[in-house]
Amino acid sequence: MRAVLVSEPGPPSNLTIGPVPTPDPGPDEVRVRVQATALNRADTFQRKGHYPPPEGASDILGLEMAGTVDATGPGVVDWSAGDRVCALLSGGGYAEYAVVHKDLLMALPPGLSMEEAAAIPEVFLTAFQALHWLGDLGTGDHVLIHAGASGVGTAAIQLTTAAEAHPYITASAPKHDLCRSLGAEATIDYTTEDFAAQVPRLTDGQGVNLILDFIGAPYVQGNIDSLAMDGRIIQLATLGGATVEQFSLRDLMAKRARLIATTLRSRSLAYKVKLTQDFASYAMPRFVDGTLQPVIDSVMDWTDVAAAHQRMENNENAGKIVLRVAP
């Protein structure tokens, strides 16, 4: 089969398409003919040599895909050749075929295209985990979502709205309209506004109950200042830096706050299976009725993968960048 290869760690121009062995499904595994995959920040870090895959995972880029079942391994009875599926992966999505555990597959709802389906697994599972499993999202909660126009951000806005909670976002001004269209009740331009100064106005001085943060060190104090009593911060990434020069733990204690750091790629199979099943049960009917929708910035042929990575690194995208894999 063909796959996207990294000639050596470095810039997007080091991405090429070349031949690799076609994987065979083992016990309880399914091989999927990939028709679409999507970009994630982790892909750009791995391309640079900074984010190796977990032990035993494919070293090919790509954390999600959509396609049709091509072959099944021993012990698989729930899936058959031709089934339309999508899945979260630990790696291997930028290829013509991917092997995945049978319990990580999600059946595509009627009417959902492969490109739309490829834009769902990583961002929606990440947002669902952060909001519901870790963040204890409740009806009426006030939620601050940083990087609101990112893939995870656009998913989180919708999931927050579906839970009858109140989403507020930070993003650059040109991306505010998209976020509002998805349900954001307030938008903050992080380039010109101090989000911590805006939150009291939005919450009648109470602060937000839950924060999803991808930025890290520069936002730590602002996040704490923005919290309501018993508030929760879910740390999903450190795009702005990981080392905090100084902050007081007493500020966290004064608000009885919780700071929860998390990753998803390195989680156990059992954890991912349970998360996938909980999410599919909750969300797939909502994709059918339109409550939830994949948000796609652009669809590009996978031969343009270098340009797709450059677009993401330039922060030009709002929503997911999807790669259509040639038949």
Provide the whole-model pTM. 0.96
Q: Are 325 and 300 in contact (CB under 8 A)?
A: no
pLDDT tens, position by position, 174-195:
999 999 999 999 999 999 999 9
Residues 6 or more apart from 6 whose CB is under 8 A from it? 14, 15, 46, 47, 61
- Beta carbons of 124 and 155 less than 8 angstroms apart: yes
Place of tokens 């101090």: 194
Q: What average pLDDT score do residues 18-42 get?
A: 97
State yes or no: pLDDT of 327 exceeds 80.
no
Q: Is the pLDDT of residue 212 over 90?
A: yes
Both tokens of 23, joined, read 């994987």
What does the H/E/C string look like for the chain?
CEEEEECCCCCHHHEEEEECCCCCCCCCEEEEEEEEEECCHHHHHHHCCCCCCCCCCCCCCCCEEEEEEEEECCCCCCCCCCCEEEEECCCCCCECEEEEEHHHEEECCCCCCHHHHHCCHHHHHHHHHHHHHHCCCCCCCEEEECCCCCHHHHHHHHHHHHCCCEEEEEECHHHHHHHHHHCCCEEEECCCCCHHHHHHHHCCCCCEEEEEECCCHHHHHHHHHHEEEEEEEEECCCCCCCCCCCCCHHHHHHCCCEEEECCCCCCCHHHHHHHHHHHHHHHHHHHHHCCCCCCEEEEEEHHHHHHHHHHHHCCCCCCEEEEECCC
Residue 223: pLDDT band with limits 50, 70, 90: very high
**Res 67: pLDDT:** 98
What domains does the chain contain, in order, with CATH numbers?
A: 2-120+265-324 (3.90.180.10), 123-261 (3.40.50.720)
**pLDDT tens, 117-162?**
999 999 999 999 999 999 999 999 999 999 999 999 999 999 999 9
Mean pLDDT of 209-224: 97
pLDDT at 246: 87
pLDDT value, residue 110: 87
pLDDT tens figures, 55-112: 999 999 999 999 999 999 999 999 999 999 999 999 999 999 999 999 999 999 889 9
What would the pLDDT profile of 242-279 be if each residue is shown by its tens digit?
999 888 999 999 999 999 999 999 999 999 999 999 99
Per-residue pLDDT at 326 exceeds 80: no
% of the chain surpassing 90 pLDDT: 97
R_g (Cα) of the chain, nearest Å:
20
Average pLDDT (30-34) is 98
